[in-house]
Amino acid sequence: MLGFFVLLCFAHVVVSFQNVHPDAKIDPTARLGSFVDIDTGVIVKAHAHIGSFASIASSTLIGENTNIGSHAKIGQRCNIENNVTIKTFAKFGNDNVLRSGSVFAQFSSIGNNVIFGNRVVMNEHAVVNDGAEIGDDSFLDEFSSVDFNVKILPKAYIGPFSFILSNAIVNEGAVIYESVEIPQKAVVNQKQVVISTPSTFTLYQSCAPIDSILSGNVEIAAKNDKEFNSKQFNVLLRSMMDSQVDSLIASCKQTQMPAKLEQLPTIKTLYLIRYQNLDRFKENFRIVQNATKSSTPSIVISKNGVRMDSSASFERMQELAREYHFGETAEKEILEPDVQKKFVQLLAIDQDASRVNRGENDTYYEMIGQIRNGDREVTCAKRSRQELITFENLNISF
């Protein structure tokens, strides 16, 4: 019985162990978890919470009602203001300023001498490097990366897997979608919208089958320049795009909810037919759709290696993934400038429909209207990463 009592007391001591430097100033209302490590000169204000196994380096200030999750690591001389949330396994360097109301998700990472404005949100695995400045109400989505000395002004959105390279400036209200790379020293204008340059592979993944499209429209797209005036094709796409945006605005105005761009898959198909020719489209469509659908396996690999037909299909998809449209890396241009602009705008609107993280007065309906009215410039930029076509993300049997 005595042994059990001693063991219980020992367990209590171990569970409640805290390494707090004598010079640290901890408000009586603050809560410290087990195995926290708080260095000299640290100030923890009222009602703050430091989770278990978290470490706070010397001379750092933790504001009122701030919550630091377990296993988080905070460097020296940081100024973390009131009502900041830092979740588990976040890792921050030295001399950073985190202003009130900001939220930093688990595994987010910050370098040194970074300044965050009020109500900034960093999602999981987002990274901000030394010397960057992030303005009020900005959002850095998962796996985004902000390089050295980048300046992001208020109310900007940086999408998943997007990279903002060193010394770039992202102006107020700019929206940068998924997998975009902003070059060094580049300037993204106020309220500008940037999408990644689409590849042929991604267009095929979301285009419509030919049998769902009016035969007359397919014929217009399939005619070559010697047989048919290419201006007629641009007239067709221009009309379809305008109709799509008009119906989208009408639908969203009524419901205030994102609506499906029903004509966009058809527009992609007609564009690809025109870009490559009808026979090539049919072949590529079959390869991409069969390889990525979830039903019957389309690529069969023997234990001795890949069959010749499967290898050819795999190489074809890699080729399609390396061919880009509409940006500086585009292989060729087949659309008139205004039609290409409308196409890029539709692709941006399509991406915005799935954007969950929005600021105040930042709605899908408003975005469509601003793009349509020219209040937001929409551009394509280099992809931050190519589509990786591997056997792991295809439907393959062994």
Residue 1 in domain: no
Structural domain boundaries, residue 312: 200-397
Same domain, 186 and 212: no
Same domain, 114 and 188: yes
Same domain, 82 and 152: yes
Distance CA 356, CA 40 (A): 41
Residue 2 in domain: no
DSSP 141: -
Amino acid at 327: G
Same domain, 178 and 230: no
pLDDT of 361-381, one tens digit each?
788 888 888 998 889 999 999
Residue 251 in domain: yes
Question: Final residue of a domain: which of 145, 177, 196?
Answer: 196
pLDDT of 309-351, one tens digit each?
455 677 888 888 889 999 787 888 889 999 999 999 999 999 9
Same domain, 132 and 245: no
Q: Provide the domain count of the chain.
A: 2
Question: Final residue of a domain: which of 149, 175, 196?
Answer: 196
Distance CA 337, CA 109 (A): 41
Same domain, 23 and 158: yes
Residue 47 in domain: yes
Same domain, 231 and 178: no
Residue 381 in domain: yes
Local confidence pLDDT in tens for the 398 residues of the chain: 445 444 444 444 444 588 999 999 999 999 999 999 999 999 999 999 999 999 999 999 999 999 999 999 999 999 999 999 999 999 999 999 999 999 999 999 999 999 999 999 999 999 999 999 999 999 999 999 999 999 999 999 999 999 999 999 999 999 999 999 999 999 999 999 999 999 999 999 999 999 999 888 998 888 865 444 578 899 999 999 999 888 888 887 777 677 778 899 999 999 999 999 899 999 999 888 877 664 444 444 333 333 334 556 778 888 888 899 997 878 888 899 999 999 999 999 999 988 887 777 788 888 888 998 889 999 999 887 644 444 444 443 32
Same domain, 357 and 237: yes
Residue 307 in domain: yes
What's residue 163's pLDDT?
A: 95
pTM: 0.86
Q: For the chain, what is the radius of gyration of the CA atoms? A: 27
**8 A C-beta contact, residue 367 and residue 351:** no
Question: Final residue of a domain: which of 196, 215, 244?
Answer: 196
Same domain, 170 and 297: no
How far, CA to CA in Å, does 220 sit from each of 74, 129, 152, 339?
Answer: 62, 51, 45, 16
Residue 257 in domain: yes
Same domain, 166 and 315: no
Same domain, 188 and 214: no
What's residue 395's pLDDT?
A: 43
Distance CA 322, CA 199 (A): 7
**8 A C-beta contact, residue 27 and residue 8:** no
Distance CA 249, CA 346 (A): 12
Residue 139 in domain: yes
Same domain, 166 and 275: no
Tokens encoding 375: 């209040």
Q: Any idea what the CATH number is for the domain that residue 187 is in?
A: 2.160.10
What's residue 251's pLDDT?
A: 83
What's residue 252's pLDDT?
A: 79
